[in-house]
C-alpha cells in the first residue's frame, strides 16, 4: 500500500515520493494463531491463483477497505472455482458495508477485531497474550525512479497498542468499527507490556523510532505515563509518532510529551 503517492505527494508528479507499507491487520492475525498461515500482501491475480491451487487451504481470509469491494468479490469467485473446499472469511473495514453479505460470496463476514475472532474460530485461546510482529513502517522508498538506500534501523517500527477509540464521535467510522462509544480493544494493557514489546523491536529491527498505530494513544494516560517512566529508567530516547485527539493532548504537560516535532492531521476518521 502507499500513503505518500496515494494521497500526500501525488500532485507532485514525477517528484512524488513513493513508499510502501505492509497490511498490519493480517500480519497481526498471522502472528497470533498457531495454525500454519501464509500472508499474501496485495498479490497479483496470478500469485493469488498459484497460491490457492498449490495448497489445500481450509480457510482463506481476505482483508480490504470499502473501495476495494470489487476485488474482494472477484477473489471470492476465484476461490469458489479453484479451491471449493476452503471457507472464505472477510475482515477489515469492507465488512462494515451494510448488506455486504449479499454483494460477495463469503462464508463469514467479520466486523471488528480479528485476532480474537480467528482464535475463537480455530478453537484457540482468544485471551492468550498478543505476539507483536516485527513491522518496519515503510519500505522500498524511491523518488524519480531512484531507490533510496535501505539501512536497518533507519525506518520506524510500527507498534499497535490498541484498536478503536472510546470517544465514539458520531461521525467516526474507525471507532464504530471496533465497538463505538466506550469501547476499544487493548492488545497491550499496561505501559510495562508496551515497553517490553518496544524493547524487543529495538533489538530485532535496530530502531529508535516508532510509528504508534493507535486511534487515540494519549487517551490511555496511565499506560502512556508508565511507558514514559520505563523509558526514563531504561534511558531510552525513543521517538514516537502517535495519533491523539486534542482533548487527550491537553491532559499532558509539555514536559510529559517532550519535544513535539510536528503536529499533523493525517487520515481523518
Q: Which residues bind ligand SF4 (CB under 6 A)?
A: 165, 167-169, 172, 175, 215-216, 245, 269
Nearest residue (CB) to ligand SF4, 56 versus 246? 246
Residue 23 near which of ligand B12, ligand SF4, none (CB within 5-8 Å, type-dependent) = ligand B12
Nearest residue (CB) to ligand SF4, 104 versus 176? 176
Helices (H), the chain: 24-31, 45-54, 69-82, 100-103, 114-121, 173-177, 191-205, 221-233, 246-249, 254-257
- Least distance (Å) between residue 216 CB and ligand SF4: 5
Residue 30 near which of ligand B12, ligand SF4, none (CB within 5-8 Å, type-dependent) = none
Q: What are the grid coordinates assigned to 93, written together? A: 473495514
Nearest residue (CB) to ligand B12, 235 versus 262? 262
Contact residues: ligand B12, CB under 6 A: 1-3, 6-7, 21, 23-26, 28-29, 61-63, 65-66, 89, 91-93, 110, 113-115, 117-118, 160, 163, 173-174, 213, 215, 267, 269
Chain CA centroid to CA 227, Å: 21
Provide the 8-state DSSP code for 186: E
**Beta bridge partner(s), residue 157:** 136, 210
Provide the 8-state DSSP code for 10: G
Nearest residue (CB) to ligand B12, 88 versus 230? 88
- Least distance (Å) between residue 140 CB and ligand B12: 13
b/e per residue 215-235 (b: at least 16 CB within 10 A): bbbbbbeebbebbbebbeeee
Nearest Cα residue to 86 out of 56, 124, 115: 56
Residue 165 near which of ligand SF4, ligand B12, none (CB within 5-8 Å, type-dependent) = ligand SF4
Amino acid at each position: 500500500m502507499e500513503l505518500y503517492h496515494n494521497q500526500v505527494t501525488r500532485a507532485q508528479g514525477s517528484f512524488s515520493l513513493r513508499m510502501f507499507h505492509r497490511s498490519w491487520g493480517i500480519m497481526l492475525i498471522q502472528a497470533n494463531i498457531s495454525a500454519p498461515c501464509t500472508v499474501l500482501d496485495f498479490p497479483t491475480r496470478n500469485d493469488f491463483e498459484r497460491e490457492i491451487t498449490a495448497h489445500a487451504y481450509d480457510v482463506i481470509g481476505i482483508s480490504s477497505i470499502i473501495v476495494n469491494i470489487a476485488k474482494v468479490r472477484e477473489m471470492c469467485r476465484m476461490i469458489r472455482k479453484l479451491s471449493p473446499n476452503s471457507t472464505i472469511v472477510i475482515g477489515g473495514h469492507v465488512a462494515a458495508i451494510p448488506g455486504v453479505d449479499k454483494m460477495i460470496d463469503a462464508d463469514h463476514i467479520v466486523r471488528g477485531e480479528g485476532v480474537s475472532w480467528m482464535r475463537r474460530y480455530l478453537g484457540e485461546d482468544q485471551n492468550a497474550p498478543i505476539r507483536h510482529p516485527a513491522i518496519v513502517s515503510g519500505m522500498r522508498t524511491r523518488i524519480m525512479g531512484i531507490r533510496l538506500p535501505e539501512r536497518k534501523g533507519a525506518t520506524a517500527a510500527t507498534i499497535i497498542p490498541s484498536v478503536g477509540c472510546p470517544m465514539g464521535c458520531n461521525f467516526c467510522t474507525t471507532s464504530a468499527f471496533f465497538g463505538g462509544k466506550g469501547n476499544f480493544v487493548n492488545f497491550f494493557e499496561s505501559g510495562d507490556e508496551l515497553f517490553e514489546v518496544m524493547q524487543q523491536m529495538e533489538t530485532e529491527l535496530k530502531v529508535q523510532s516508532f510509528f504508534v498505530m493507535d486511534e487515540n494513544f494519549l487517551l490511555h494516560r496511565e499506560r502512556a505515563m508508565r511507558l514514559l517512566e520505563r523509558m526514563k529508567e531504561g534511558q531510552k530516547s525513543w521517538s514516537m509518532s502517535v495519533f491523539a485527539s486534542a482533548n487527550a493532548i491537553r491532559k499532558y504537560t509539555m514536559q510529559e510529551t517532550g519535544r513535539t516535532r510536528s503536529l499533523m492531521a493525517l487520515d481523518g476518521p
